Amino acid sequence: MLFRPTVFAMLCVTLFPLSAQAESSTPQGLFDVYQENRERDIANLVTPDLLLVSYSLLRQQLNQQAEAKVVIPAFQALLNGLQKKLTTDKNDAVGQLGRDYLTLLQAMQTGELAKKSPAHVQREWELIQQAAGVTESPVWGIPLDYSQFKPRGRYMMSESLQHFFTAYRYANSVNFFVQPSLATGVSPEKSQQMTQLAVRLSQIINKNPFLKAHFDSLNQASNWEYGAAGDLSAQDVPLALKDVKESNQYGAALLAYAQKTNKLPQVIDFPVDTGKLDKNQKLAEVAVGWRLIPGTLNPDAMATQAVLYPNTQQFISPCGTISCVEPWTVSRLDGVQAKGYVSGMEVMSWLGSETARWTSQRNGDHLYTGYGEASKRAQDLLQNDPSLSGAQMQFMHNVFTQKGTPPTRQLTSMLGFWTWQRNINALYAKQPSSAGSKFIGSTKVVARAGAKLLGGTAFYHALSQLAQQHQTHGDTEIWQQFADITTRLEQLANKADGSLNEEEESYLNALDQTLLTLTKTKDAPIVIDVQTNPADKLVVEEAIGLPDIDIQGAARGAWFSHYEFKQAMSDRLTHEAWRKQVKIK
């Protein structure tokens, strides 16, 4: 496993910044550092990262509540209704395929498949449980990346959440291709069968008010929070087929609809062998498909896809025919060295970090034919999205334009914030794939002299505006409480160093406890896979390690540490596995 500690960690610390102290007393997260301050009567050095991790924990908590109240019940009701309404007989191959699909989804929800299930369904179930990698599906007859069905992130907290993760991921990953292609492994017969099943399931949903209401609630729950749907779904089918009479015309009509309504896929999240594309075929066209639960698009995923091969082409060595540099982002695809990965530095550079731009260029991330134009498109995608992810990208861009915080600290803070958001979005957002073969304590206030606030007024103002957008789109006065905190910090940041009075220092010394009353939980290291390269059988992991402790005068605080590395796709890391690697006990 190759680790890439990013910027500040890379410049100032070794791989695991606090591994020499990795004992039971080692702070596991930022909140632990501030708890230690209280126990040791040390003043708080409040960093922007404490507010960023609090925002992330708060968002995760509210999303979990919404998931439990809306998403999980609606998903289960949709599956139950479809299973009851989908009628079939022995000669109905399309209906049988639908039965197999729904049987598997229901089994994933419960964690147990009926022993009387057909052999090919049992084999599919085994592959889903093994989550080993790309292989041909016994049910669908096309290559599937089974590793993506492995539960991870916050879904490891309970067995029922693990089951939900697998089922929901299967429902928003299996693509019902409307066009055949050797590049996707979809035959004309299979494409026609999948398309007919998509139409049949859509008709059941649209004709039944109960099922339609649950389907709509699933989509409405995710639109702003996670992004717009990135695939054709039940709501598109009646619009696409209003003038179509024959079932053999479904595929062409759905493709034409996708082209006309600008719904061609912008993120490819399944294995594609671009070397087998017909000269008259475009990758986005053969990738068009229907999904029971459409995956959502967020701007960083679309930006990543925009610069991956084949949107960029061959690696260009700066030394002519001699390969004197081999970027971390290079991969062998379709027999040539091409861009198979995107680094976090690239994403940060598109958001305006000069430090990231310099680092990315030094690493050779740009040395590919067509990268200049592709990276401009990536930058545009990041800055023009109406969803929450777009608002977060704008917040990060605003931070990169601010002065005061050292650029390396600023960059690591944003990488940590970005990693947290990717972790929260993991189940719903489409993941770009390279195309190519191959306990809150006492609230007693103690006067600890020397408390200090880092981060300028512009940072806290921008974070307050982001919180207010959540309040506009959500239920909740809790975001207003968070915004009130950031507004108070904006006022304190206006004061010159050393001018804080006793009440203001007390406020900063109690801030971690104030935030915990909102988040209800503390942070710890996390890891999330953000991109898949089926050709290399690797995924890109973004991770937050043990906190980086900072001491300034009498005050002590904590920042994110961030890592980026490649990992076998058959062994996508969970938070627990990553925490063992950073030696947390």
Count the neighbouring beta carbons within 10 Å of the beta carbon of residue 107.
Answer: 21
Question: How many angstroms separate the CA atoms of 57 and 249, rounded?
Answer: 48
3-class secondary-structure state, position 180: coil
Amino acid at site 481: Q
pLDDT digits (tens, 9 = 90+) for 85-95: 998 777 899 99
Tokens of 413: 């803070």
Question: How many angstroms separate the CA atoms of 432 and 214, rounded?
Answer: 28
Question: How many angstroms separate the CA atoms of 325 and 332, rounded?
Answer: 15
Most trustworthy range by pLDDT among 84-88, 213-217, 498-502, 558-562? 558-562
pLDDT higher than 80, residue 106: yes
**Can you say whether the dihedral through the CA atoms of 466, 468, 474, 477 is positive or negative?**
positive
CA nearest 508: which of 464, 449, 573, 453? 453
Can you give the pLDDT at residue 498? 66
Name the β-bridge partners of 332.
337
Residue 441: pLDDT band (50, 70, 90) is very low
Q: Of 243-252, 269-278, 317-326, 350-359, give the lowest mean pLDDT range.
A: 317-326
Report CA-CA distances (Å) from 168 to 26, 72, 76, 102, 109.
Answer: 36, 9, 10, 12, 9
pLDDT digits (tens, 9 = 90+) for 152-210: 988 999 999 999 999 999 999 999 999 999 999 999 999 999 999 999 999 999 999 99
Q: Which long-range contacts (CB under 8 A, 24 or more apart) does 549-553 make?
A: 549/18, 549/27, 549/33, 550/45, 550/47, 551/45, 552/45, 552/452, 553/450, 553/452
Question: How many angstroms separate the CA atoms of 95 and 204, rounded?
Answer: 12
3-class secondary-structure state, position 544: strand
Residue 19: pLDDT band (50, 70, 90) is very low
What does the pLDDT average to over 291-313? 91
Residue 496: pLDDT band (50, 70, 90) is low
Query: Would strands 538-544 and 562-568 be described as parallel, antiparallel, or unpaired?
Result: antiparallel
Tokens of 238: 């009646």
What does the pLDDT average to over 449-459? 93
pLDDT digits (tens, 9 = 90+) for 566-583: 999 999 999 999 999 997
Phi-psi region of 334 (alpha: psi -120 to 50; beta: other; left: phi over 0): left
Q: Of 46-50, 233-237, 266-270, give the lowest mean pLDDT range.
A: 266-270
Domain ranges of the chain: 69-296
Residue 585: pLDDT band (50, 70, 90) is very low
Report CA-CA distances (Å) from 245 to 238, 240, 242, 248, 249.
Answer: 12, 12, 8, 9, 8
392: exposed, middle or buried (Cβ count in 10 Å: 0-12, 13-18, 19+)? buried
Count the neighbouring beta carbons within 10 Å of the beta carbon of residue 1.
Answer: 10
**Can you say whether the dihedral through the CA atoms of 261, 262, 268, 269 is positive or negative?**
negative
DSSP string, 101-159: HHHHHHHHHHT---TTS-HHHHHHHHHHHH--SEEE-TTTSSEEEGGGGS--GGGGSSH
More confidently predicted of 335 and 211: 211
The answer to whether the CB of 355 falls within 8 A of the CB of 7 is yes
Question: How many angstroms separate the CA atoms of 428 and 384, rounded?
Answer: 20
Tokens of 296: 């959502």
pLDDT higher than 60, residue 558: yes
Residue 509: pLDDT band (50, 70, 90) is very high
Output the pTM of the full model. Answer: 0.91
What does the pLDDT average to over 253-259? 95
pLDDT higher than 60, residue 76: yes
Can you give the pLDDT at residue 23? 39
Share the mean pLDDT of the chain.
89
Q: Of 21-25, 300-304, 383-387, give the lowest mean pLDDT range.
A: 21-25
Residue 438: pLDDT band (50, 70, 90) is low
Percent pLDDT > 70 in the chain is: 92
Residue 14: pLDDT band (50, 70, 90) is very low
Question: How many angstroms separate the CA atoms of 411 and 129, rounded?
Answer: 38
CA nearest 490: which of 436, 453, 524, 518? 453
